[in-house]
Amino acid sequence: MKTRITELFGIAHPIIQGGMHFVGLAELAAAVSNAGGLGVITGLTQRTPENLAAEIARCRAMTDKPFGVNLTFLPSVTPPDYPGYVQAIIEGGVKIVETAGNNPQRWMPRLKEAGIKVIHKCTSVRHALKAQSIGCDAISVDGFECGGHPGEDDVPNFILLPRAAEELEVPFVASGGMADGRSLVAALALGAEGMNMGTRFMATREAPIHENVKQALVAASELDTRLVMRPLRNTERVLVNAGVERLLEKERALGPSLKFDDIIAEVAGVYPAIMQRGEMDAGAWSCGMVAGLIHDVPTCQDLIDRIMGEAHEIISRRLSAMLAPA
Ligand SMILES: Cc1cc2nc3c(=O)[nH]c(=O)nc-3n(C[C@H](O)[C@H](O)[C@H](O)COP(=O)(O)O)c2cc1C
C-alpha cells in the first residue's frame, strides 16, 4: 500500500506505533519498524538525554529501518532538558520525530535544519491547522476514543477525521481506537493516509512490559476505560482498576476544589509499577477503548501482516463486491 505517509517516512505499511511512556523502548520500536511500520521510542521515558542517546543506539542495533522518537511537551514546574533530548535525537541520526502535548514551534527550526520530519499529534482541527502552519510535515489526529490524553473537546474519530480531511493540506494518520484491517480501511475512507496505534501495540510479544498488562488488555472490554483528571483539564483515558476507582472517588468528593496534589498517590510513579512490576491496581495508566478489540498477543510482524492482509481483503473483495453490477 502506498500513501503520502508511507512515502514521507519511507515505510512499507502506513502503520505507526505512537510514543508510550515506559512501553516505547527500543525493543518495541525496532520490532514495529522491522515489520514494515514506523516504530517510535518514547523520549521522556529515558531519564536523561544521555540515556536517550543510548536507547537510540540500541534501537539502531536492532533495525536498519526508519524509526522515530516521541517528544511530549507537558507543562511542568521543572521542565525536562528538552534541548538535550533534541540534541540526542539529531546526533543519533533519527530522521522522524513525533511531537505531542504543547505546540512544538520552539523546536521546529532545529529539527528542520537537521532534516527531521515532524509528525505532531493533536486532538482538534484547530491544533492540527496550527501545527501545519508552523511547518509540521504530518499530523496524527487523536480522537476521543484514544488511550492517553484525548483533550477536552470530546470529538470521536468518525467526525474528527473527515473534519481534518476538510481542512488539512499535509497528510494525517488516524489515531485512537485503531486495531486491525477494518480500522485501517475506515481511516483511509475518512481521509487519513494511515493509522497510529498505541494500546494495540502494548499487547504484542515484543512490547517490553509485564505479562499482567498484556493479559489485562486481552481481558478488558470497550467499557473498561475511565476518564480521569477532567476537573484539572488534563483528561486522561485509563484502564479502570482499584487505584483509578480511588482517584475517581476523590474527584467526586472534592469537586472543583480538586488539586493535582490530592491525587498524586494514584498518578505519580505508576508507570514503572504497572509496566515493569505488573502491579495492576497501582493507579492510572493510559489505555484506549480499543482494548475491547484486543483478543490476543501476537508478534508485531504477525499483527502488521494480519492488518495489511485484512485491509487488502476488505478493499479488494468486500467493498469491491458491493460495487459489482447485479
Ligand atoms: C500506556 C500508554 C502510554 C502513552 N504515553 C504517551 C506519551 O508518553 N506521549 C504521547 O505523546 N502519547 C502517549 N500515549 C498515546 C499514544 O501514543 C497514542 O496516541 C494513543 O495510544 C492512541 O490511541 P489508542 O490507544 O486507542 O491506539 C500513550 C498511550 C498509552 C496506551
CA of 322 to the centre of ligand 1 (A): 36
Q: Which residues pair with 41 in a beta bridge?
A: 69
> Tens of pLDDT along 101-144?
999 999 999 999 999 999 999 999 999 999 999 999 999 999 99
Hey, what's the torsion of the CAs at 176, 71, 26, 288, to 10 degrees? -20
Contact 93, 41 (CB under 8 A): no
Contact 17, 37 (CB under 8 A): yes
pLDDT at 165 over 80: yes
The pLDDT of 153-182, averaged and rounded, is: 98
| Strand pairing class (225-228; 236-239) | antiparallel
The pLDDT of 297-305, averaged and rounded, is: 99
Whole-number pLDDT of residue 202: 98
User: Which residues approach ligand 1 with their CB closer than 6 A?
Assistant: 18-21, 23, 42, 70, 72, 100, 121, 142, 145-148, 175-178, 196-200, 285-288, 290
The pLDDT of 39-66, averaged and rounded, is: 98
Whole-number pLDDT of residue 297: 98
Report the 10 Å Cβ neighbour count for 6.
20
pLDDT at 200 over 90: yes
CA of 100 to the centre of ligand 1 (A): 10
Residue nearest to ligand 1 atom 15, measured at CA: 148
301 burial (CB, 10 Å; 0-12 / 13-18 / 19+) is middle
Whole-number pLDDT of residue 20: 98
Whole-number pLDDT of residue 203: 98
- Confidence band for 240, pLDDT divided at 50, 70 and 90: very high
- Confidence band for 75, pLDDT divided at 50, 70 and 90: confident
For all residues of the chain together, what is the average pLDDT?
Answer: 97
Residue nearest to ligand 1 atom 4, measured at CA: 20
Whole-number pLDDT of residue 324: 76
- Confidence band for 77, pLDDT divided at 50, 70 and 90: confident
CA of 178 to the centre of ligand 1 (A): 12
Within 8 A by CB and 6+ apart from 218, the residues are 203, 294, 295, 296, 297
Residue nearest to ligand 1 atom 19, measured at CA: 18
| CA distance linking residue 216 with residue 225, whole number of Å | 12
The secondary structure of 44-83 as a DSSP string is GGSSSHHHHHHHHHHHHHH-SS-EEEEEEE---SS---HH
Residue 299, SS3 per DSSP: coil
Q: What residue has cell string 496524527? A: 140
Q: What whole-number percentage of the chain has pLDDT above 90?
A: 97
C-alpha cell belonging to residue 304:
502488521
pLDDT at 29 over 90: yes
Cα 281-217-191 angle, rounded to 5 deg: 130
